[in-house]
Homo-oligomer: A and B are copies of this chain.
Amino acid sequence: MSGIRAQQKEKTRRLLIDAALNQLSAERSFSSLSLREVAKEAGLAPTSFYRHFSDMDELGLTLVDEAGLTLRQLMRQARQRIAKGGSVIQISVETFMELIESNGNVFRLLLRERSGTSAAFRAAVIREIRYFTMELCDYLQHAKNLDTEVAYMQANAAVTIVFSAGSDALDMDDKSERAQLSKQTIQQLRFIARGAAELSDRRKISKKTNK
């Protein structure tokens, strides 16, 4: 099996995925996309859609997977940059904002669409974000030597702040406005980091004195 057939199939599958992503915008949520619209944008007959996905829901799940991949790519890239030195928070936020600029529509799926979708879809989105949060939590625990619970709360707050800022950035066309938003987000993350570090310290001290 040379696979010239499977190869073609994969190609038009991507056509469908990209067609869906391209139609996303501030006005247009995934849940408001119709099977026919997506097929048309991909240059296919409506019924051909079924050769690749049984449902718009299934396409949606695939898109969320795609978004998850992008999120991991983000983590890898940020880690590489951090290894070269500099402010961890600043580098992370800037890397995130860059990725939003180039992969805007992929992120809309994770940042918007909190309702009006299937339960499976929402669960998938939540799973991706949780995974991301846990990665950050691990990092905080080890690199910053934080109390487990405190690390989780910091990670959770940080992800909420960054994703919310990312969501806002999606609708900004002015570049200086985005830069301002980045700056503010960085400062907010520092607030959180500072507060978390203090609580973690206090907890450690109280544990020692209890011994």
A17 contacts partner chain B, Cβ-Cβ < 8 Å: no
Interface size on A, residues (CB 8 A): 38
Partner of A116, one of B31, B118, B188, B199: B31
Q: Are A195 and B199 in touch, CB under 8 angstroms?
A: no
CA distance A114 to B190 in the complex (A): 26
Point out which of A160, A194, A199 has the most chain B C-beta atoms below 10 A from its C-beta: A160
Main secondary structure of the interface of A (DSSP, over half): helix
CA distance A188 to B112 in the complex (A): 23
Q: Are A161 and B157 in touch, CB under 8 angstroms?
A: yes
What does the 1/0 interface line of A171-189 toward B look like (CB < 8 Å)?
Answer: 0000000000000100110
Give this chain's copy count: 2
CA distance A190 to B197 in the complex (A): 12
Q: CB-nearest residue of chain B relative to A183?
A: B153
Partner of A112, one of B26, B115, B192, B195: B115
Q: CB-nearest residue of chain B relative to A198?
A: B194
Partner of A157, one of B122, B188, B193: B188
Given known pairs A26-B115, A29-B116, A32-B116, the reply for A191 and B199 (CB within 8 Å) is yes
State the A residues within 8 Å of B (CB). Answer: 25-29, 31-32, 108, 111-119, 122, 153-154, 156-157, 160-161, 164, 167, 184, 187-188, 190-196, 198-199
